[in-house]
């Protein structure tokens, strides 16, 4: 019995390593960003507003828990998530947290109040309308994230380039924009811009990782 107790204590100590690693809001943000594709320490610093030293320290903690990995490219150190399961875990964490925590729901509602007319479209409706050729799906993330992975049929039009590509978009179809998932608002900004130019546009709330889970559940 004593041996079993020791074994269980050691087992849960290992589980707790992941929980302790994820107790930092900044480390959660870093994982979310890296789940979209590899990034240098400098890029992560600019995207999170943290100093390079702080980013490096957080990344070291994530690396010790085997949630991220890195490789050197010239003078740069490039980080990425250790495996796709890390991104799946984050999607599950987001959904569970939103279901359980009223404050997350409130914060989400707070930002969406600025975009009350932008109703999200679901995957089922999107796939049906894409099959009919009624909509064009726009991936408004940076192009390097699109290259890492995107929803099939989507075209890459980064948010900062969207206005310059308006003339090349078909005028007889609705545009559906998506970005990094439920807590990324680039797609909302894209819809707002498109509508201001007289283009019919909607938003897909989910991102690539949510799409992968949806596709897997509908594979059979």
Nearest to 153 by CA among 185, 172, 186, 131: 131
Q: Write the DSSP symbol of residue 182.
A: T
Cα–Cα distance, 109 to 102 (Å, whole number): 11
- Are 118 and 104 in contact by the 8 Å Cβ rule? The answer is no
Out of 91, 179, 194, 201, which one is annotated catalytic? 179
Q: Measured between alpha carbons, how far is residue 190 from residues 107, 108, 119, 207 in Å?
A: 21, 18, 13, 15
Q: Write the DSSP symbol of residue 141.
A: S
Q: How far is CA 219 from the centre of its chain?
A: 22
Cα–Cα distance, 156 to 165 (Å, whole number): 11
Q: Is 179 one of the catalytic residues?
A: yes
CB atoms inside a 10 Å sphere around CB 28:
17
Phi and psi for 211 in degrees, rounded to 5? Answer: -60, -45
Q: Could you give the residue ranges of the DSSP H alpha helices within the chain?
A: 2-21, 25-34, 41-48, 52-64, 84-100, 102-112, 123-131, 143-148, 186-196, 208-217
Which sequence positions are flagged as catalytic?
179
């Amino acid at each position: 019995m004593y041996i079993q107790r020791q074994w269980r204590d050691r087992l849960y100590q290992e589980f707790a390593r992941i929980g302790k690693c994820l107790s930092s809001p900044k480390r959660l943000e870093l994982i979310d960003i890296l789940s979209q594709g590899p990034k240098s320490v400098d890029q992560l610093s600019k995207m999170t507003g943290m100093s390079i030293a702080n980013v490096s320290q957080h990344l070291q903690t994530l690396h010790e828990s085997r949630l991220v990995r890195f490789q050197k490219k010239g003078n740069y150190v490039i980080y990425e998530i250790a495996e796709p399961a890390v991104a799946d875990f984050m999607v599950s964490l987001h959904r569970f947290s939103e279901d359980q925590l009223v404050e997350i729901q409130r914060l989400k509602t707070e930002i969406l109040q600025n975009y009350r007319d932008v109703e999200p479209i679901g995957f089922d409706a999107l796939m049906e309308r894409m099959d009919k050729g009624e909509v064009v799906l726009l991936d408004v993330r940076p192009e390097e994230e699109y290259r890492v992975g995107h929803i099939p049929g989507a075209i890459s039009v980064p948010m900062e380039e969207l206005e310059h590509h308006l003339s090349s978009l078909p005028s007889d179809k609705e545009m559906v924009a998506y970005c990094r998932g439920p807590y990324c608002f680039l797609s909302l900004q894209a819809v707002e811009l498109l509508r201001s130019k007289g283009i019919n546009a909607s938003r897909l709330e989910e991102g690539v990782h949510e799409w992968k889970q949806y596709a897997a559940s509908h594979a059979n």
